Chains A and B, each alone.
Chain A
Amino acid sequence: MKRHLLVWTLVPLLAVLHFFLHTGLGLGRGVPDFLTLSLLLGARELRMGGGAGLGFLFGLLRDSFSAFSFGVFTIALTLVGVLGAKTRDLFVGDSLRFFFAYLAAGKLFLELAVWVLAGETARGTFVRVVLVEGSLAALYVAVVGILIILLVGGKEVLR
């Protein structure tokens, strides 16, 4: 119950923090992708339908600023939400090591999905966008995610 409450406090908080730091303060890429982190944490508490709904909502928020075609982030984040929720059935995931891998894989999957959906002209090369920038962003999200989990109570948050 405590974990449930913690996660559901964290999810909206991280989403607000994402837009406050990125859009409000204009800090750009120096700040990790708290929105995806929030979705990945929330999806572990939800069933597939809920995960898809949360991803859809976050995707709409992201797409309202997107330079790509509208809908790219909506589809990508909805998929991330569905797959994140699905991992509940596949992995117990009560270790920090699992969560690190889960967060990094989730973010990397998002980058890959956006790269595929963005279209030939909008996307950069696969190596640069997914393998280099995507991997670094995934590691960044995973490290920050683990730090946040440790900060708010460690194993209390893990499922």
Chain B
Amino acid sequence: MGSYIDSPEEGRRHRDLTVAAVFLVLAVVSFYLPPGIQDQVAAGVRASALKPFLMTQEALARARLRAEDALRLQAQLDSLAFLVVSQATMAEENQKLRELLGLQERAPGLFVAANAIRPWTAGSESVFLLDVGSRDGVRVGDPVLMRNGRIGLVGVIRGVRGSSAVGMDWSHLDFRASAMTADGSVFGMVEPRRGEFREADRLLLNGIPYYEHLDSATLITTSGLGGVFPRGIPIGEVVSLAEEEPGWRRAYWLRPVVETGKVTHVMVVVDDIALEGMLELLQSVDMPSPDSVAPTRQEGRGSGPGAQAEPPQGAARREGGRG
């Protein structure tokens, strides 16, 4: 005759199934949590269990930076110093002209230099972490730039904590940027397209009217439409025609100014007013290096050898160039 009471093994199995079901439900709940709460959980995990690994990569990145060619850095410093000296009287002239015209003082624009850290785990290829956060003035939606011969758009900030931020680069499938040719004559939308493998990810300039024709090597910049990115940030150069719908639209492949794999030291524009001046300053100095001119956040605050190399008001904080 069978027992009416579960054997201990059956009870254990039942309990086991319940525990497994609870964890599965929790996993499904985590998937459907509101994005804000998901970001908080992810940030909490990164700030606790994964912190040692992120600190290791940060330390390695800093060591790599210090090992950079001193001669090349010296050449950059000289170029910037020359530029600063040649424009030394501009602030004073500007002030006088403003007084004459009765213009108000413009609020200073800001940008923040930061180290970009890659998680390098599967499924996180388009995400980078920055060692600056809300305490440095970084906000969600701020554009992230890097100098790679020419200064270019890396991506955008998606989440911010006190001293860290998470951004997505242009290869992320959610990335979109309203774009135009550098002369402002043709407008379209830039979006990423997955390659056969991740290293082959490309940018596509879409929505170009069919009657417009773009030559190869035409520079494409952000248009400022929609208010996500400020106007004028270089995104890439036209390579070739990708697709067309006769009588309707064309799309062009772009060669990005910044390759996502090269992103190491970046600049976060925390105030759009700074952008124009920064672009002018960095593009007017013809530097051979692919790296950012701005020293790291730490150096910008005067702690490292690069503190002397900071642009006029310090790399982490300088006035906008429009005066």
* Interface of A toward B, CB cutoff 8 Å: 18-20, 22-29, 33, 47-53, 55-56, 59-75, 78-79, 81-82, 85, 114, 117-118, 121-122, 124, 128, 133, 137
Contacts and interface: CB of A to CB of B under 8 A. Distances in A.
B86 interface: no
Interface in B15-38: 15-20, 22-24, 26-28, 30-33, 35, 38
B173 interface: yes
30 contacts: A18-B121, A23-B120, A23-B121, A24-B53, A24-B57, A26-B118, A27-B120, A47-B16, A48-B20, A49-B17, A49-B20, A53-B19, A53-B23, A56-B27, A59-B27, A62-B121, A65-B46, A65-B124, A66-B121, A66-B123, A70-B31, A70-B38, A71-B30, A73-B123, A74-B31, A75-B24, A78-B23, A82-B23, A118-B123, A133-B197
Interface of B: 12, 15-20, 22-24, 26-28, 30-33, 35, 38-39, 41-43, 45-46, 49-50, 52-54, 56-57, 60, 118-127, 168, 172-173, 194, 196-197
B196 to A, nearest CB: 7
Nearest to B49: A61
Given A49-B20, A61-B50, A114 B123 contact: yes
Contact of A67 (B30, B33, B45, B127): B127
Nearest to B30: A71
B122 A29 contact: yes
Given A23-B120, A27-B120, A55-B23, A64 B28 contact: no
Interface of A (DSSP majority class)? helix
Contacts of B20: 48-49, 51-52, 82, 85
Contacts of B43: 64
Contact of B27 (A75, A114, A121, A137): A75
